[in-house]
Amino acid sequence: MRFRSMQLGDLDMVVGIENIVSPVPWPTNQFLDSIQNHHSKVLEYSSGIFGYAIYSYQSDQAELLNIAIEPKSQGSGWGRRLLRLVIEGLPTEVKKLFLDVRVSNFRAIRLYHSFRFEQIGERESYYRTSNEAMRENALIMCCDVSDSRQI
Ligand SMILES: CC(C)(COP(=O)(O)OP(=O)(O)OC[C@H]1O[C@@H](n2cnc3c(N)ncnc32)[C@H](O)[C@@H]1OP(=O)(O)O)[C@@H](O)C(=O)NCCC(=O)NCCS
């Protein structure tokens, strides 16, 4: 397994996974922008990419913008490993890691709780859903990076 920076040539595989795992997938341009302006990492087997994480940081704060594992590889500890690699790779001056998550995404919320993320707020009707007429709230979560590094 390799953990490396996302490259332009990865976009087709990454977008392919995103289209399966996300109710409202990021378009290719958003991943392109992430390669150019954020930190974008992939997990790769010899057979191809099976996970990715996008994050940004500035001074003492970081934000996890997207994280996913392709469906066949989910539930085997890869999401946990990927999040750990992201946290371990943050510069030492980063103290807090923030993220937004759909209230219905119990699997991700459980993962975040296990890294000692706590809910610090909620955004009403923040996310679009596959039903144009429905919106979904986002939980705003935050962890203390030094605590999470010990997990
Ligand atoms: C969320 C996601 C990244 C987790 O990756 P994963 O490889 O499936 O998760 P892991 O196998 O590493 O499991 C890590 C933890 O997630 C939680 N989890 C995983 N599968 C779960 C399930 N079926 N039900 C409930 N919790 C689950 C558990 O807390 C688990 O820890 P445990 O095994 O010690 O109980 C992955 O499910 C995914 O890509 N989902 C779709 C995209 C997404 O929702 N991204 C998050 C956006 S905020």
Between the CA of 128 and the centroid of ligand 1 the distance, in Å, is 21
Query: What pLDDT is stored for residue 7 in this prediction?
Result: 97
Between the CA of 112 and the centroid of ligand 1 the distance, in Å, is 9
| CB-ligand 1 contact for 69 (6 Å cutoff) | yes
Which pTM value belongs to this model? 0.96
How does pLDDT run across 78-100, given as a tens digit for each residue? 999 999 999 999 999 999 999 99
Q: What is the CATH number of the domain that holds 14?
A: 3.40.630.30
Q: Which domain holds residue 9?
A: 2-148
User: Which residue ranges in the chain fall short of pLDDT 50?
Assistant: none
Domain count, the chain: 1
User: Bridge-partner residues for 16, per DSSP?
Assistant: none
Rounded CA separation 71/16 (Å): 11
Q: State phi, psi for 114 to the nearest 5 degrees.
A: -70, -20
Query: What pLDDT is stored for residue 58 in this prediction?
Result: 97
